[in-house]
Structure 1
Amino acid sequence: MVDRMMIACAVDEPYAEMAGVMLRSLALNGDVRDIPVYLIGDGLSVETVEDLRACANDLHFQFIDLAAMRESIGHLPVSFYNAAIYIRLLLADLIAGDGRMLYLDSDILIHRPIRELLQTPLEGNLAGAVIDGGKPQVHAMANARLGRTEDAPYFNSGVLMFDLQTWREHGIGHQCIRTAQARNDYWPDQDALNIVLDGKIKPLHAKWNLFSTEPLPRDVCEAGHILHFIPDKPTSENCRHPMFEDYLAIRATTPWRDRPFTSSVRQRRVDQLARMVAERVRRKRIDPEA
């Protein structure tokens, strides 16, 4: 039994709507009303923070503005150009105390209670995560990129469970950030976690981070407790996810209920490409040999 449990999510402005729906679904379906829920915001407007607070409803909600924490974590080897993807690695620095931490990506829907997950023993491992739901050839490519055997388990970082004090003692987040910054990977935080924690991640059941790059039937999704919107995001009217209607039903209870969709699939991919190019340009300016 875990004595103290916490939940955290990191979000920037483009993902605020999804974070709001995630928080609302957590309040409605998660059975975690007595558990502290931390939302770490990167460059959020005052209005967005209030909207997210409203979505949290009766959760034990606490907001952390990353801008206010920059000075205290400024010594860490991380570029805040794309800070949101690194926040999960910094939770042991951002949140005081000890206990079990469950990190959730913002593009997630809580469909069923998750208390069982929070109480799952790590059995000596440094983290718990779900094996990535991508195609086998994608796993093989990822492992080849990381210098591992083709059949090594490759974990998704969208749902990540660990003990805060253990991560502080071993400097896990710092190791991952240094690894990510020394490389130029497509999924920098996720690849770094798979490298640093290789052989020390407890595989969790797929129901705790359910997704697939291939279409899943609705009855499979219905059995999931945590649904991850990969690859389609529910902020597009073109979303093909079988649980899109469930997302919309919860969205209708949030401040985003009457707002237009914020993106199309095509525009999201264009934005991702633009960010990748900008990051590579930034790296070249710092290190022309990179």
Structure 2
Amino acid sequence: MSIFDTGLNPLKKTKVVPVFLTINSAYAPYAAAAIHSLTQHANKKRYYRVIILHDGLNWVNRVRLRSLVTKNVAIQFKKISSSLYLKAIVKYCSRRKGAGDFFSSAVYYYRFFIPRLFPIYSKCVYIDSDTILRGDIGELFDIDLEGKMMAAMVDPKVEVIPEFREYVDRAVGVQYWDYCNSGVLVMDMKALRKFGYLSALVDTINKYDADLVAPDQDYMNVILRGKILHLDAKWNMEPAEELPKDAKLVHFNLFNKPWHYKNVPQEKIFWNAARGTGFYGELKRQQQAFDAEKQKADHEKIEALIKKAGRLSKTKEPILKFEDK
């Protein structure tokens, strides 16, 4: 039996700290920076297993990601195989290719598969690939979920962008101050399995085929309404010129990616993490190639997303009506 088939720390007979990321090959360079930052802040007395869910990483990217392994941080790859669940999600995503649709890849939904695919774990952490750790992720894993199924931070962009706030309140049907970002999660795997988290997602997709702004995140908030503990903001900080001293994780969410733009807030911590990977040169070339035309297209896509939120917020009643059975 492989050590990956158990929840044990091979260094000692203690539980592993499982950390999940979901990516395709295009996101491998950013995931590498996130993983390298994790290894730099990991507690040397604990054992971490980074599990990468993907849709088909090539051999070169696997080798470069695997090079980030340390004595107490292992890396495991898991390709999401075809299933009725995945087919329903892929079919849904194929219809979400219009202007303002940032999230039309099935990869965004792989986080819903985690509890079902890994029954050996009762708890885990999930992070987006555009995050950089400034503290030990084991501390995040250790938080008390206080009887909730998941922990996530209230989405800061929803709080400050009026169109997003109105969209969440009216179209999603979740009060904006209770609507959470799905980029950093602590999951009670056992509770989510019992609840039927993945089945609830696919059932809701099949029932509504909803046109949404951030579908995977919107579905999460509706399906788990009242079941999400609000994380401290230090575990999912927006990049800013000045970060609080206790900031543990920076999330380069949606706008101003440092691998596209120069002189963005906190770009230094991203490049410091990227420098320790085999993707540094590739990331620098991406930045150089992201010319004025691509920047214009990026801004137009973001404007379309905000415009879409404003349009959908005009609904008279929520688009989704999930009922916990």
Deviation at 1:132, TM superposition (A): 0.5
Distance 1:47 1:54, change over 3 A: same
Distance 1:239 1:125, change over 3 A: farther
Q: In structure 2, the residue corresponding to 1:131 is in which secondary structure?
A: coil
**In structure 1, what is the equivalent of residue 204 of structure 2?**
179
AA aligned to 1:142 is V
**In structure 1, what is the equivalent of residue 193 of structure 2?**
168
- Give the gaps of 5 or more residues in structure 2: 1-13, 94-104, 306-325
**What whole-Å deviation, never above 9, does each CA across 1:139-180 have from its counterpart, x for those lacking one?**
23222111244x541100000111222111111122124334
**In structure 2, what is the equivalent of residue 232 of structure 1?**
256
**What whole-Å deviation, never above 9, does each CA across 1:55-91 have from its counterpart, x for those lacking one?**
344412111122xx22xx3345321762210010111
AA aligned to 1:83 is A
Higher relative contact order (CA 8 A, sep 6+): 2
Structure ID, larger Rg: 2
Question: Contact 1:130–1:205 (CA<8 Å) still a contact in 2?
Answer: yes
Q: Is 1:266 the counterpart of 2:280 in the alignment?
A: no
Give the counterpart of 1:202 among 204, 217, 229. 229
Deviation at 1:239, TM superposition (A): 4.2
**What whole-Å deviation, never above 9, does each CA across 1:199-229 have from its counterpart, x for those lacking one?**
11000100111116xxx23233x53111100
Percent sequence identity over matched residues? Answer: 24
Give the counterpart of 1:60 among 71, 74, 83. 74
Q: In structure 2, the residue corresponding to 1:210 is in which secondary structure?
A: coil
Give the counterpart of 1:41 among 54, 60, 82. 54
Question: Contact 1:25–1:110 (CA<8 Å) still a contact in 2?
Answer: yes
Question: Structure 1 length normalisation: TM-score?
Answer: 0.81
Q: Is 1:91 the counterpart of 2:106 in the alignment?
A: no
Work out the number of aligned pairs and report it: 263
- Aligned-pair Cα RMSD in Å: 2.6
Give the counterpart of 2:84 among 46, 61, 74. 74
Give the counterpart of 1:31 among 19, 23, 43. 43
Distance 1:51 1:155, change over 3 A: same
Q: Distance in 2 between matches of 1:179 and 1:145?
A: 15
Extract structure 1 runs of 4+ deviating beyond 6 A: 270-273
Question: Contact 1:30–1:111 (CA<8 Å) still a contact in 2?
Answer: no
Q: Distance in 1 between matches of 2:273 and 2:250?
A: 14
**What whole-Å deviation, never above 9, does each CA across 1:97-143 have from its counterpart, x for those lacking one?**
13211111000001111222111111111110000011152223222
**In structure 1, what is the equivalent of residue 19 of structure 2?**
7
Distance 1:55 1:272, change over 3 A: farther
Deviation at 1:19, TM superposition (A): 0.3
Q: In structure 2, the residue corresponding to 1:37 is in which secondary structure?
A: strand
1:278-289 matched pairs, under 5 angstroms: none
Q: Distance in 2 between matches of 1:245 and 1:119?
A: 28
1:123-202 matched pairs, under 5 angstroms: 123-134=146-157, 135=160, 137=162, 138-149=164-175, 151-180=176-205, 182-202=209-229
Question: Contact 2:19–2:125 (CA<8 Å) still a contact in 1?
Answer: yes
Question: Contact 1:21–1:55 (CA<8 Å) still a contact in 2?
Answer: no
